[in-house]
Each structure stands twice: as structure tokens, then as C-alpha cells.
């Protein structure tokens, strides 16, 4: 067999059963490539999640097709659910079971199950070399060395550890918790590094980059103090021991990219004369034009990285970098710098094209991504939060906040809080009634189709989700705070006995839809609002009440130019200038052709919902008018911040 998927396809040999129920505890059938191969054999895969809803979907969409043998339906479920499938359905089909244990019988299923499904391809290739037991420890050793290429026994110094961490975090590589714990245990026995905060450095890219940032600043200060008399070859002996790793050539090469992408900030110095030439990437002389030079470098660096073949983690990373670029441009460019304007325009066109191409091929597959170690889509968030087993959890939803606006918030609060930054994908079309409900229901839009045009059921969905996690309604709270521009009283009204709290704040949505000066105007309004201290006080109160605090947005926003109004279609959200919804695919497709807009289809949307999206940078408003809006599929709208907030001196143990 060339692939692990070939083993599974054997279950679907001729004659293909019209109806099959497959216990798939490890989610193997959710693999994108496998789904395509099954689809090529006219096999439709559906998930059995809840008896009543499945019966409804089955009778409505599949029953007649199954009876007429016009479809081959594969129903996937948890192993324990297989025996509870209604008898009248079970007798019509066949029952089967697949698991990672069937594919890799000599390895520990616990360890293999924890791996990212994308890693199974490489694991299958190297599996032929495995000859040890199926114990956890033997499997961990094999996975670390053969799958990740990590040999902890070679790490003897801080320099070697830093090089490993630089490579790991720059590649956005997340290890499962069980593997992280094993690595930490091994590294903790090395005398030269055991006193370092190994858990935080390994598991948190934000912590690691902050650690490097502080060390780099102190390193530059020490270099400046040495003056110009000491040769570079002698500097190693004059610098404090814990910063010597910066002299390592491999470390320098990796650092260059981090500064170029804005993950590390260049340190301001009065003059570079006392510094070795190689430090230039991480220092900036405080003079007019220096910031522009760094911004142009950042634009070109991101442009070189972009590709429609990138993984979803790469797009999240790029979205953060792009948001920082736009923010810096708003700060230093009054719109008259033609060089910057042209560079930014070319970058935006490149991002729009590559991201759209990537979404068309990969977006549907994001649904099947696991919510650990980090959520990937909005509906994963409550499942992720439930997995944390925290005594008290608060989720603040900042409606319509993009990564650009988050960057502004972060800058204003970085002296008071620490941030664990991640990103998730919003639902397309990126409107509140579709995307925000996913956060509270923990489900795909098709599962809340009856409330798809409203947000009035969010509290019910939130309570129901947590009830299913064993937390009574009495301990679950939902607050929607409106008009925070004028009122600051509601932040103290949360119930004292809460175990789970959700807070929705619509201030950013108000800023966006009232904007008349584009991003520049929104940036000014946010700056004034932040100075009032409402958001900062809210975060402080929640942390004081011992909540584990997270914030997220339901969708972002995009500055656009009007291309003319469309009078056809029904708006699910009356101010969605970048979207029209049709209940007829034929009419929608005709409109797409007529108005040169984008037809978007998704199996996860309710039946009879056919979105028409404006092209990137365009809006269905008066021609030439500048608006900031949402509803489309640009990177600014689709990738949104998901942040854990911790008090400045209150880090996790």
C-alpha cells in the first residue's frame, strides 16, 4: 500500500454498500483527500452526531436515494454510538470499524491518535522501519526522531535549545500535549538548561518570542556599552553568558526572518557604529525614514512567502503579519507616499489572489480539523474551552474586530496584560448571524439553520453546549453589552457563581458601519474609545474574579470601493454591503455572471442558502464610494484573532 488511505479504501470495494455505518473514533474518514477519493466512487460521507437531527437529515435528503440505490451513503460515528443506531436503519446497511490501531498495529494508539492527521502520511512512510514494542515510550521515541527529526540527546547547551525552538516556532509546529510533556521531561534532566522555563518556551510561541525580544534588547545594550574598541571575536567573552547564543551563526539566520516579519521588534539605538554589522536586522537608528525602510522590507518579505499551497497555519501567521503592515502604514503614511502605496497595493492583490485560490480548495476541509491543540474554526472554540477544564472561563466576543483592530488594542494594553495569540477561520459568508452563532453553538451553520437570520438564540445555544458538558444552566451566563461608548456599568453585573461566561460587545461593529473615512477613521475612533478604559477595566475585572480569559471575533472587515448596487437577493444582515443571499442557485449563478461577483457554495450552510460575494476590495454600494464592511472572503474578514489574556505578572505554572 502506498498510503494509509489505501487500507481504508479496501472497506469500500465492489460491490459498494448502499448504506454503511462506520465506527471511526479517530476521525480518519474526515481526511480531505480520503473524502475526495470516496466522492469519486459516488460515496457520500455524513456524520452521525445526534439521533433526532440525523433522522431529520436522513429522511429529508437521503432516504429516497438510498431506497432507490442512487447513492452510496457512509455514516460515520463514534464506536459506542454504532450499537445505538436505530434498528430500521441498521438492517438496511452494514457496520464497520476503522481506527489508527488498524493502520499502525505496532505503535501505541494513544500516541498516534494524538498526532495531527496530516502527519499520518509521513508516519506511514517511516512505519516500515519500526521494530520496537507498542508502548507509549517506544512510540514517542520513534515519533520524535523519525517523524519530527528531533533528537533531544543532542541538546547540551542553551544555544542548541534556542536553535531547536527557533525552528519549531517559526514553522508553526504544534506538538500534542503528550509529546510536549515527554520532551520537557527529557530536557529537564540537562543541567545547562533545566533552570529555564522549558514548558513555556516549548509550548508557547508568544512566550518564546517575548523571551527572545527581552534577551535581544539586553544584548544590544551590552554591545553598545562595550564601545568600538573590542573586536567582534572578543565580544563573546564580554557578554553575559545567557545571551551568548546570539553569536551563533545558525541563530542569526533564523532571527533575520523574525525581525523581517515583525515577530521581533528592532531595538532603537542612537548610532550603529559600536555594533557588529550582522546586528543590523535587529536595530534601527531613530531617524526619519527608518520606519518606512523597515515597513518596505516587511512587505517584500511577506510577498516572498505567499503561496496558494500554504497550510492553514501559514495563512494565520501571514494574516497577523499583514495586519501589522496595514497598521504601521496607517501610522506613518498619510497616503501621499507613492512607493509605499504601490508596494501595498501589489501585496494586497497578491494576498487576495493566493488566499482565494487556497480557500476554494481547502476551506471545506477546515471543518474536519481537530480543535486541539488549537481551534481552527469558530465552532471549535467552545469545544477547545471545555477541554481546558478550568474552574471559571470567560469568552469575550468583540463583534467585527479584525486582526488590524486587534493589533491596535494589543499595543494599547501590552503594558498591562500578556497575550497568547492565535487565529481562527470565520464562516463564509462573514456576517454576524452565520459566523457568530457558530461560536456559541459549537456547530456548523447547517445545524442552526432555523435561527440563521438572527442572533437571538445565542444564549440558548451557549447554555445547551455547556449543559452537554455537564455544567448546569445556573452556572452559565451570556451577556450582550451594547453602546459601550456611553455606558460602563455592565462590567460589574456578572453573576458571582458563574463557571462559564460569554460577553458580546458590538462596539467595533458600530465603528465599522459608521465609518466615513475608511480604516483611518476607525483607527482614530478606536484610539479614543480605548483611552476611556472600558475594555481594559473589563479584562481586569474578569481576571480579578479568577476567570481564564479569552477573546475572539466573529469576523473581520475590509476597506472597499463601491462598484454599484445590486437590487437582487435577500440580505441576511441589512448592512452586509459585500454579500447577497439567494434562495435559488440558478438565480444566484446568473447574478454572479451579470455582476462579475463570486458564487460561494458550502455543504455546511443551510439548504437553500446561496451566497453571492463581492470580489476582494469591492462592495455592492454606490460606485466609487469607500466603505468598510464584511461578508466576503478576504483574509481580513475570514481570519480573526483568538487570544488568551493573562495578567502581566500572572503567568501559568
Q: Where are the alpha helices (DSSP H) in 93-226?
A: 100-103, 109-114, 120-126, 136-142, 158-170, 177-187, 198-203, 205-226
CA dist., res. 33 & res. 241, Å (int): 50
Which residue stretches of the chain have pLDDT < 70? Answer: 1, 227-243, 271-273, 286-288, 308, 483-493, 568-576, 649-653
**Residue 629: in which H helix or E strand, if any?**
strand 626-629
CA dist., res. 403 & res. 417, Å (int): 18
Q: Check residue 36 and give its pLDDT.
A: 86
CA nearest neighbour of 613 among 600, 628, 626, 627: 600
Count of CB atoms situated within 10 Å of the CB of 368: 17
Q: Check residue 495 and give its pLDDT.
A: 79
**C-beta separation of 597 from 582 below 8 A:** no
Distance, C-alpha 407 to centroid of its chain: 15
Cell triple for 605: 450552510
CA dist., res. 145 & res. 575, Å (int): 53
**C-beta separation of 398 from 512 below 8 A:** no
Task: Give Cβ neighbours of residue 88 (< 8 Å, ≥ 6 apart).
Answer: none
Q: Check residue 395 and give its pLDDT.
A: 98
Q: Check residue 15 and give its pLDDT.
A: 87
Sole residue written with cell 452556572: 475
Q: What are phi and psi of 352, to 5 degrees?
A: -55, -45
Helix axes 534-544, 518-531, angle to 10 degrees: 50
Q: Check residue 575 and give its pLDDT.
A: 42
Domain boundaries of the chain, sorted by first residue: 4-98, 109-147, 152-282, 290-360, 364-427+478-555+637-647
For 47-112, give the DSSP string: E---HHHHHHHIIIIIHHHHHTT--EEEEEE-GGGGGGS-HHHHTTSEEEE--HHHH-TTS-HHHH
Q: Check residue 543 and give its pLDDT.
A: 94
Q: What is the pTM of this model?
A: 0.85
Summarised one tens digit per residue, pLDDT across range 151-187 is 998 999 888 999 999 999 998 888 999 999 999 999 9
CA dist., res. 209 & res. 165, Å (int): 10
Amino acid at each position: 500500500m502506498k498510503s494509509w488511505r489505501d487500507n481504508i479504501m479496501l472497506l469500500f470495494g465492489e460491490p459498494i454498500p448502499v448504506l454503511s455505518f462506520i465506527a471511526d473514533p479517530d476521525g480518519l474518514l474526515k481526511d480531505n483527500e480520503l473524502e475526495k477519493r470516496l466522492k469519486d466512487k459516488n460515496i457520500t460521507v455524513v456524520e452521525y452526531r445526534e439521533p433526532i437531527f440525523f433522522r431529520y437529515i436522513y429522511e429529508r435528503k437521503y432516504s429516497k436515494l438510498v431506497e432507490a440505490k442512487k447513492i452510496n451513503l457512509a455514516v460515520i460515528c463514534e464506536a459506542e454510538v454504532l450499537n445505538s443506531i436505530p434498528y430500521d436503519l441498521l438492517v438496511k446497511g452494514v457496520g464497520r470499524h476503522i481506527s489508527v490501531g488498524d493502520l499502525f498495529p505496532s505503535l501505541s494508539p494513544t500516541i498516534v491518535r494524538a498526532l495531527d492527521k496530516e502527519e499520518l502520511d509521513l508516519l506511514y512512510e517511516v512505519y516500515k522501519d519500526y521494530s520496537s514494542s507498542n508502548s507509549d515510550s517506544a512510540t514517542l521515541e520513534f515519533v520524535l526522531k523519525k517523524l519530527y527529526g528531533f533528537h533531544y540527546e543532542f541538546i547540551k547547551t542553551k544555544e542548541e535549545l534556542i536553535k531547536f525552538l527557533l525552528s519549531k516556532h517559526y514553522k508553526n509546529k504544534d506538538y500534542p500535549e503528550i509529546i510536549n510533556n515527554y520532551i520537557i521531561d527529557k530536557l529537564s534532566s540537562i543541567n545547562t538548561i533545566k533552570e529555564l522555563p522549558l514548558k513555556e518556551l516549548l509550548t508557547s510561541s508568544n512566550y518564546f518570542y517575548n523571551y527572545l525580544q527581552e534577551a535581544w534588547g539586553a544584548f544590544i545594550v551590552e554591545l553598545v556599552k562595550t564601545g568600538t574598541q573590542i573586536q567582534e571575536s572578543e565580544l563573546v567573552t564580554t557578554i553575559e553568558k545567557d545571551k551568548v547564543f546570539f553569536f551563533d551563526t545558525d541563530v542569526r539566520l533564523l532571527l533575520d526572518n523574525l525581525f523581517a516579519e515583525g515577530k521581533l521588534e528592532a531595538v532603537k539605538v542612537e548610532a550603529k557604529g559600536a555594533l557588529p554589522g550582522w546586528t543590523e536586522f535587529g536595530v534601527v537608528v531613530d531617524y526619519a525614514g527608518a520606519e518606512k525602510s523597515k515597513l518596505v522590507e516587511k512587505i517584500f518579505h511577506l510577498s516572498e512567502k505567499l503561496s496558494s499551497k500554504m497550510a492553514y497555519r501559514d495563512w494565520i501567521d501571514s494574516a497577523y503579519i499583514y495586519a501589522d503592515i496595514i497598521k504601521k502604514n496607517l501610522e506613518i503614511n498619510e497616503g501621499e507616499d507613492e512607493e509605499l502605496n504601490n508596494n501595498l497595493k501589489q501585496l494586497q492583490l497578491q494576498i487576495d489572489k493566493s488566499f482565494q485560490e487556497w480557500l476554494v480548495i481547502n476551506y471545506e476541509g477546515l471543518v474536519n480539523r481537530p480543535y486541539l491543540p488549537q481551534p481552527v474554526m469558530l465552532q471549535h472554540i467552545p469545544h477547545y474551552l471545555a477541554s481546558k477544564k478550568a474552574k471559571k472561563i470567560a469568552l469575550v466576543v468583540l463583534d467585527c474586530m479584525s486582526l488590524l483592530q486587534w493589533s491596535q488594542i494589543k499595543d494599547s494594553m501590552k503594558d498591562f496584560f500578556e497575550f497568547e495569540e492565535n487565529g481562527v477561520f470565520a464562516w463564509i459568508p462573514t456576517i454576524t448571524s452565520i459566523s457568530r452563532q457558530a461560536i456559541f453553538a459549537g456547530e456548523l451553520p447547517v445545524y442552526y439553520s432555523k435561527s440563521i437570520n438572527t442572533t437571538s438564540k445565542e444564549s440558548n445555544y451557549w447554555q445547551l453546549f455547556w449543559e452537554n458538558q455537564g455544567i448546569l444552566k445556573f452556572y452559565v451566563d451570556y451577556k450582550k453589552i451594547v453602546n459601550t461608548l456611553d455606558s460602563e456599568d455592565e462590567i460589574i453585573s456578572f453573576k458571582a457563581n458563574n463557571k462559564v461566561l460569554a460577553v458580546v460587545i458590538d462596539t467595533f461593529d458600530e465603528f465599522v458601519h459608521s465609518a466615513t473615512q475608511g480604516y483611518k477613521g476607525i483607527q482614530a475612533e478606536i484610539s479614543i474609545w480605548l483611552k476611556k478604559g472600558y475594555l481594559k477595566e473589563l479584562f481586569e475585572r474578569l481576571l480579578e474574579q479568577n476567570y481564564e480569559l479569552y477573546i475572539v471575533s466573529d469576523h473581520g472587515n475590509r476597506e472597499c470601493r463601491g462598484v454599484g448596487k445590486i437590487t437582487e437577493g435577500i440580505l441576511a444582515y441589512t448592512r452586509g454591503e459585500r454579500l447577497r443571499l439567494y434562495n435559488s442557485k440558478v438565480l444566484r449563478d446568473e447574478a454572479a455572471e451579470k455582476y462579475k461577483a463570486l458564487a460561494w457554495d458550502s455543504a455546511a450552510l443551510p439548504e437553500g442558502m446561496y451566497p453571492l460575494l463581492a470580489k476582494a476590495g469591492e462592495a455592492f454600494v454606490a460606485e466609487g464610494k469607500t466603505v468598510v464592511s464584511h461578508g466576503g472572503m478576504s483574509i481580513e474578514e475570514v481570519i480573526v484573532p483568538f487570544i488568551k489574556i493573562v495578567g502581566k505578572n500572572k503567568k501559568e505554572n
